[in-house]
């Protein structure tokens, strides 16, 4: 199996997640080629069994470069993809000290739904999606992020 992983890392967090994913899948006998979107041509992506896209969140959306990249992706309908993003970790409400619910977070954190919508509109098929939280503006990644990536890897179907 071959996976082509395209990320838009700005501060290096997405690149770290991509490398962790690559290493984990390599241990399962899967080839993963990692590319930054600035080094790739969306209309000429290399052949793969699965395409994985990753973007940091900015104001609750994928960064503009990734949105434009996905809009220009030219893959046949039915192509399988996955999404693994780096998003801002929720913070407690300043007045109440309570953490926001998943529903509240979903209102302002739309990175994965926006990416999925762009790809589904092209007829692509999602296999898995998840996120890794970034605790500050530029990092670091949340505690236990490697285990989150490993759990995501386990959800990727591997053909023999």
Summarised one tens digit per residue, pLDDT across range 41-68 is 999 999 999 999 999 998 889 999 999 9
- Is 90 exceeded by the pLDDT of residue 146? yes
Give the model confidence (pLDDT) of 82-100 as tens digits.
Answer: 999 999 998 888 899 999 8
Percent of the chain with pLDDT over 70: 99
- Is 70 exceeded by the pLDDT of residue 160? no
pLDDT, mean of residues 25-35:
97
**CA atoms of 53 and 118, how far apart (whole Å):** 12
Say if strands 80-88 and 125-134 run parallel, antiparallel, or are unpaired: parallel
Q: Kindly report the pTM of this predicted structure.
A: 0.93
Closest CA to 66 of 118, 15, 142: 118
What CATH number should be reported for the domain whose range is 2-154?
3.40.50.360
- Is 60 exceeded by the pLDDT of residue 31? yes
pLDDT for 104 equals 85
- Is 90 exceeded by the pLDDT of residue 138? no
Give the model confidence (pLDDT) of 110-124 as tens digits.
Answer: 999 999 999 999 999
pLDDT for 159 equals 73
Q: So where are the chain's domains?
A: 2-154
Which of 137-145's residues contact partners 24+ apart within 8 Å by CB, and which partners?
138/10, 138/11, 138/13, 139/11, 139/12, 139/13, 140/13, 141/13, 141/16, 141/17, 141/86, 142/89, 145/17, 145/20
């Amino acid at each position: 199996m071959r996976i082509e992983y395209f990320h838009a890392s700005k501060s290096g967090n997405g690149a770290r997640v991509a490398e962790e994913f690559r290493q984990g899948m390599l241990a399962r006998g899967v080839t993963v080629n990692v590319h930054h979107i600035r080094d790739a041509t969306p209309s000429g992506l290399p052949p793969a069994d699965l395409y994985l896209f990753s973007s940091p969140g900015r104001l609750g959306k994928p960064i503009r470069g990734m949105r434009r990249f996905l809009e220009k992706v030219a893959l046949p309908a039915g192509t399988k993809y996955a999404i693994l993003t780096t998003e801002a970790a929720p913070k407690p409400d300043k007045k109440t000290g309570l953490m926001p619910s998943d529903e509240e977070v979903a209102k302002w954190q739309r990175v994965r739904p926006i990416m999925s919508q762009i790809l589904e509109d092209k007829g692509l098929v999602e296999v898995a999606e998840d996120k890794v939280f970034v605790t500050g503006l530029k990092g670091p990644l949340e505690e236990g992020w490697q285990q989150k990536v490993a759990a995501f890897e386990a959800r990727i179907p591997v053909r023999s």
